[in-house]
Chains A and B, each alone.
Chain A
Amino acid sequence: MRSDSAGVNFSNEKNADFKGFDKKPGSNSAPKVVLVGNPNVGKSLIFNYLSGMYVEVSNFPGTTVSVSSGKYKSFEIYDTPGIYGVSSFNDEERVARDIIIEADIVLNVVNSLHLERDLFLTRQLIEMGKKVSIILNFADEVKRKKIVIDSKRLSKILDVEVVETSAINKSGFENLENAIINARQGAQPGEVSDVLNQDILSKSGREIALLVAEGDEQVAEKYGYVCGTADEREKIYIDRRNSVNAIISEVEYENSSKGRFFNLLGSYSLNPLTGIPILALILVMLYYLIGDFVAQQVVDVTENKIGKGVFEFYTKSFISEFTPVDIEVTKFDDEGETIDEKTFAFPDNLLSHPETKTLFDNYIKDGENEVNFDFKNPIARLFFGEFGVITMTVTYLIFLLLPLVIAFYIVMAFLEDSGYLPRLATMMDKSLSRIGLNGRAVIPIMLGFGCVTMATITTRILGSEREKTIATAILQFVIPCSAQLAVIAVLVGKAGIGAFAVYGVVIFTVMITISTILNKFLPGQSTPLLIDLPVMRLPRPANVIKKTYFRSVGFMKEASVWFFVGALFVGILEITGLLVAFQNLLAPVTTLWLKLPKEAATAFVMGTVRRDFGAAGLFDLELSAMQIAVALITITLFVPCIASFMVMLKERGLKEGITIWLSAWVLAFFVGGLTALFVL
């Protein structure tokens, strides 16, 4: 399931279905041009330019797991995940490999700043016998760093077209068409040709022969060959590395200047001594921006003034013209104290009692009023009442959640593009290794604060099954998504710092306990951290805005459906009396064990549909600060939303998925009650 959130390419319809990519070469379709390169080389920006479409651009590895496709003139253009080599070590590589095998032309995008790393892939692509052109991206940054790359010489050595571009300011893009047209098979080093099996070469082509020789088991199996050994692969790799080093020494001269502000910031964010204060600073800014400014001030205007005051009031007034209603009005003074309450009854409808209507209109003309429409008709109540499918969902989605989600995505996009996340991963590596993860796991966990569903998909970037299981469990149990976080922020804002401390400590303890237990009992070994750190840079506002826009739209598309489903579900439960029955059923647990009002059970029912929806169910209850803490703990640990449950089943299998889901029920009530024992 594709949905909102940070990290993995979700630009929806535009993604080519990977399985549909099995067209055989030689079918008379348009030539396939495939963009290939290491992570963070600017492939996506070039793809955007050629195809005129938007795909996600991030400054950390593992962003594009799916494939985007588009058209440029008579060519089909494909964007691929960032890879360091063509083989089948992970999902990204497998996806990219199969497309490269099918490609007519490969545009190899190279980060000029990391020529030594990137040319390793270039060499491999050429050795595969593909028609290749090289796009030397970041040309302007290279100049700024006083590095000289002799692209003519590079072109001569490799015998392929080389063009220089700067994707950030789109210079050199006019040469991209030349690169496509002039793509050709480059120079083959003798030592590689020696190790290729002549039989495979003539039957299946050079790319297959090379991949088989390199020990790619999947390819060997698919084409029915005996796979090369690890020794053969190592020999090929070392030859390739040596040839790249030789090329570098001929084409690159450097006169590098180091020690600029961003380099410094980059190195400070690595060491816990300075990195933890930097992280704390980021979190404090986050709190003020999202928790304080957006969750309180902005939402107060959008939700109360616009959503309830305008949208709901006029919608409900309009409906009241057709159906019996009691209108309850509560009047407040400037300090928010109740000064008066009145109920206006319209046994037929609003229009058939003109004198009561005049009284009502005059009563609410001035001052602060809260107007509550109590519809007598169950259908009217279902769609426009307290949990109205139309009224509540629209207010909640557009006027409460949307501002928060946008704010959150802006921050995530900013962090991603700055190159901060891999450094955070490095800093956290030691701590995370204690719970059986490596530093890379901060990426799915951070993304989880955006959307648990998307983050669960991102656990693919982790190196072993046990790491994926641990990370998935943490995500599904303890990490609240941005929507839920938004509601938590508002409720904690009301409850104060004490409740926040209790909430934080309990959730953190649960996280450590779960992951420690899993780490102890899961078989196997975790993989070590080995990542490259991209250059720290100031994100481009245009890219941050674009990314935020597409993710927010994606979120709204996905969330809206579930919200309506959830509201309808709860609404029907309410009208049929099942809600009360369920509340009564859960009442012993809710009132005795959790020490909450029994209506809190509604929040749990809604929580199975969407987590945040559950937390929102607590809004209207009269709760003390510590009751809020207990309720939030229970709701946070409670079962994941339907979307992320489905994704979890897909990613982790039926058995593990169901186990986590059922454990969440038990854990949520157990820990919630335990907390209640101590604080209530």
Chain B
Amino acid sequence: MPHRTLDSARSGAYIKIQKVPQGLIKVQLLRFGICEGDLIYCLQRLPGGTMVVQKNRQEIALGSDLARQIFITEE
């Protein structure tokens, strides 16, 4: 399923990052420990699509516009 994006993930799901936008955003995500192929935990999906995800113990919030550009598969 190549066309799912992060904003559609369910709270409590483990998701695998397939593709992130190029450029600055990719670098910033890498620093937070999120890169393509990583398994992360979806803590909460807020109304409107703002996402809160967890990688190990680090919680990270992503705006809905950004979440819509990150392709995922659910595990």
Contacts and interface: CB of A to CB of B under 8 A. Distances in A.
Contact of B47 (A116, A233, A272, A439): A272
Interface stretch (A423-431, A562-570, A642-650): A423-431
Interface in A570-627: none
Interface stretch (A287-295, A302-310, A530-538): A530-538
A533 B61 contact: yes
7 contacts: A85-B31, A116-B55, A267-B52, A429-B50, A528-B63, A529-B62, A531-B60
B43 A114 contact: no
Contacts of B25: 528, 530
Interface in B20-58: 22-33, 35, 43-44, 46-50, 52, 55-58
B64 interface: yes
A241 B30 contact: yes
Interface in A431-455: 433, 438-439
A426 B32 contact: no
Nearest to B62: A530
Contacts of B52: 267, 270, 426, 533
Contacts of A344: none
A234 interface: yes
> How big is the A interface, by class?
35 or more
A145 B32 CA distance: 21
A84 B31 contact: yes
Given A237-B27, A439-B63, A530-B25, A117 B58 contact: yes
B66 A529 contact: yes
A237 B30 contact: yes
A246 to B, nearest CB: 13
Contact of A114 (B44, B48, B58, B64): B58
Interface of B: 22-33, 35, 43-44, 46-50, 52, 55-66
Contact of B28 (A230, A267, A426, A530): A530
A433 B63 contact: yes
A140 to B, nearest CB: 15
A429 B47 contact: no
Interface in A231-247: 233-234, 237-238, 241, 244
A585 to B, nearest CB: 49
B50 A430 contact: yes
A488 to B, nearest CB: 32
A439 B60 CA distance: 13
B50 to A, nearest CB: 5
B33 A439 contact: no
A270 B47 contact: no
A238 B30 contact: yes
Contacts of B24: 89
Interface of A: 84-85, 89, 113-114, 116-117, 120-121, 145, 230, 233-234, 237-238, 241, 244, 248, 256, 266-267, 270-273, 422, 425-427, 429-430, 433, 438-439, 528-533
B46 A270 contact: yes
A112 to B, nearest CB: 10
A121 B30 CA distance: 11
A218 B63 CA distance: 29
A89 B52 CA distance: 23
**Is chain B's binding surface mostly helix, strand, loop or mixed?**
mixed
Most buried by B among A89, A244, A530: A530
Contact of B43 (A85, A267, A425): A267
A248 B33 CA distance: 12
Instruction: Please report whether the interface of chain A is mostly helix, strand, loop or mixed according to DSSP.
Output: helix
B39 to A, nearest CB: 12
A116 B60 contact: no
A116 B58 contact: yes
Contacts of A530: 25, 28-29, 32, 60-63, 66
A429 B63 contact: yes
Nearest to A263: B59
A583 B52 CA distance: 55
Contacts of A425: 61
A117 B32 contact: yes
Contacts of B33: 116-117, 120, 241, 244
Contacts of A230: 22-23
Contacts of A237: 27, 30-31
B31 to A, nearest CB: 4
A276 B62 CA distance: 19
B63 A532 contact: no
A266 B30 CA distance: 24
A532 B32 contact: yes
Contact of A256 (B27, B50, B57, B65): B57
A429 B64 contact: yes
B66 A528 contact: yes
B44 A271 contact: yes
Nearest to A114: B58
Contacts of B29: 530
Contacts of A270: 44, 46, 52, 61
Contact of B61 (A89, A145, A244, A439): A439
Nearest to B59: A533
A400 B69 CA distance: 52
A433 B64 CA distance: 9
B27 A234 contact: yes
A252 to B, nearest CB: 9
A271 B46 contact: yes
Contacts of A272: 46-47
Nearest to A230: B23
Nearest to A427: B46
